[in-house]
């Protein structure tokens, strides 16, 4: 267990909201959530603004939206899921990495199956399926 982050001389890597409860710990925890909420809302508003304006060159809009989406995921991971580089969050990081691996495998497998079904299906099979 981590000790009180206000103890002098200790360098703890805590995510926002992971502070110990007591004294000003609750206020700091709420402040972390409010900062995360403001950042998430700002990134969402920026996404809608970029999609509806001519600020970014047309073909660059998807790239800008992907960058903002990745930034939003980072805000959620740090401010709401409390992922940090501290020793207490090792299991959380491993669970996140495993989840990303599973989603990537499902995505790549689905794309692979759809590509091969499209390439291997003949027109007679398509006509038979439409009946």
- Better-scored residue on pLDDT, 75 or 2: 75
* Residues of the chain above pLDDT 90, percent: 40
> Does the structure show a pLDDT above 80 at 106?
yes
Among 85, 100, 117, identify where a domain stops: 85
pLDDT band at 14 (very low <50, low <70, confident <90, very high): low
Whether residues 116 and 56 fall in one domain? no
Whether residues 98 and 123 fall in one domain? yes
Whether residues 53 and 93 fall in one domain? no
Whether residues 73 and 25 fall in one domain? yes
Whether residues 125 and 73 fall in one domain? no
CB neighbours of residue 36 within 10 Å: 19
Q: Which residues contact 88 (CB under 8 A, 6 or more apart)?
A: 2, 18
Q: Domain of 73?
A: 1-85
Whether residues 77 and 113 fall in one domain? no
| Residue 39 · residue 4 · CB < 8 Å | no
Lowest mean pLDDT segment, chosen from 18-32, 33-47, 74-88: 18-32
Whether residues 72 and 94 fall in one domain? no
Query: In total, how many domains does the chain have?
Result: 2
Whether residues 68 and 96 fall in one domain? no
pTM above 0.85, yes or no: no
According to the model, what pLDDT value does residue 127 have? 74
DSSP 8: T
Sort 120 into a burial class: Cβ within 10 Å, 0-12 / 13-18 / 19+. exposed
- Please state, in angstroms and rounded to a whole number, the distance separating the CA atoms of residues 25 and 121: 62
Segment 66-97, tens digit of pLDDT: 999 999 999 998 898 888 877 777 788 888 88
């Amino acid at each position: 267990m981590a000790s009180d982050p206000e103890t002098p001389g200790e360098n703890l890597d805590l995510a926002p909201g992971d502070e110990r409860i007591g004294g000003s710990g609750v206020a700091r925890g709420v402040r972390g959530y409010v900062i995360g909420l403001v950042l998430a809302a700002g990134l969402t508003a920026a996404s809608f603004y970029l999609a509806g304006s001519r600020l970014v060159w047309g073909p660059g809009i998807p790239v800008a939206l992907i960058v903002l989406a990745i930034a939003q995921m980072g805000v959620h991971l740090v401010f709401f899921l409390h992922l940090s580089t501290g020793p207490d969050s090792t299991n959380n990081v491993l669970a996140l990495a495993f989840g990303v691996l599973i989603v990537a495998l499902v995505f790549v497998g689905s794309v692979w199956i759809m590509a091969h079904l499209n390439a291997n299906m003949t027109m007679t099979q398509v006509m038979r399926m439409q009946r």
